[in-house]
Amino acid sequence: MAPVLPLVLPLQSRIRLAQGLWLLSWLLALAGVLTLLCSGHLLVQLQYLGTFLAPSCPFSALPQVALAAGAVALGTGLGGAGASRASLDAARYPPWRGILGPLLVAGTAGGGGLLVFALGLALGLPVSLDKGLEEGLGTALVHYKDTEVPGHCDAKRIMDELQLRHHCCGRHGYKDWFGVQWVSNRYLDPSDQEVVNRIQSNVEGLYLTDGVPFSCCNPHSPRPCLQSQLSDPYAHPLFDPRQPNLNLWAQGCHQVLLGHLQSLASTLGSILAVTFLLQALVLLGLRYLQTALEALGGVIDAEGEAQGYLFPGGLKDMLKTAWLQGGVAHRAAPEKTPPEEVPPKEDLPEA
């Protein structure tokens, strides 16, 4: 059976391959560290912003898979650097002969699979992230008033911090607050006729106003913040509804968070792509170096040329051999028939 992708490696080529692998392995280790840092940063961001994502949104799986992929890439890079450095010395290489095989298998199956999965998550999640933020922010607005409801006591504080930190208001704009009751019932006077009329005028019995929370106010506004009666053009003569950014944050939190998280995911995706490329190069180089040195008995400066390869035989031949070996192993052995007995020769009478 002919080897798969054979490559003839003279002495100088083997030495240059080992030296190049040492450099690529350290670059892979650096890429693994960057992957760990970037995915860790995204994970920390999601600890805070994950409240505004729907529970069904798979975006939170991205940093977790990327963390595992970065750890495997870091280990592969350090292992590749040690193996390529040791291969230049015949006295230091023998201990690595039993490590290279598991390292190649773990790097290819584990690291490669995790990197591909994480890269796919980074590139294929914008749609699910958009839907997750749409649903999550809508839920956050609805529970803004539930400061005394178990499980939602911090909803108001978290939403206020989001709007103040990211300079946004509502889900898509400040008018989103007009469609939800954001004032807690404990602050409403049930004897006030205006309050009663507003509640009775709503089908769901909600107290709706054309106002916004204080966290929507832009502190750079040249005038005091106007939070109520925003839809009445005569209530505030100096307020121009066509330019709300002079008084309120004009952008909705959906657009701000979507751009922020997509930027982090895009950066992580770029690092994952570079890490995947470096890991593929390191694993291919280590495999060629391993097979070439095994043919020389583990001595890189042995005389003559050595042939490196990916697999010892063609894929078709390997599968055929495995199938035949499996068939022979499971085939019942034929029953052995006892040899026929030769009848004894009768002594002839002497003439």
User: In degrees rounded to 5, what are phi and psi of residue 54?
Assistant: -65, 145
Euclidean distance between CA atoms 73 and 114, whole angstroms: 10
Please classify residue 326 by burial: count the beta carbons closer than 10 Å to its beta carbon, then call 0-12 exposed, 13-18 middle and 19+ buried: exposed
| pLDDT over 90, % of the chain | 17
Which tokens sit at 173? 């704009």
Alpha helices (runs of H) in 106-192, residue ranges in sequence order: 112-124, 126-142, 155-166
SS3 assignment, position 99: helix
- Model confidence at 255, in pLDDT bands (50, 70, 90)? very high
Region 95-123 average pLDDT: 75
Candidate from 6-10, 141-145, 153-157 with smallest mean pLDDT: 6-10
Candidate from 32-46, 169-183, 329-343 with smallest mean pLDDT: 329-343
Nearest to 215 by CA among 172, 256, 168: 168
Question: What is the DSSP secondary-structure string of 26-77?
Answer: HHHHHHHHHHHHHHHHHHHHHHHHGGGS-TT-GGGHHHHHHHHHHHHHHHHH
pLDDT in tens, 269-321: 889 888 888 988 988 888 888 777 777 676 666 666 666 666 676 555 555 54
pLDDT of 125 over the 50 cut? yes
Candidate from 162-176, 212-226, 304-318 with smallest mean pLDDT: 304-318
Q: In terms of DSSP bridges, do strands 7-9 and 306-308 run parallel, antiparallel, or are they unpaired?
A: antiparallel
- pTM score above 0.85: no
Region 67-80 average pLDDT: 89
Euclidean distance between CA atoms 73 and 343, whole angstroms: 75
Strands (E), the chain: 7-9, 306-308
Euclidean distance between CA atoms 98 and 154, whole angstroms: 55
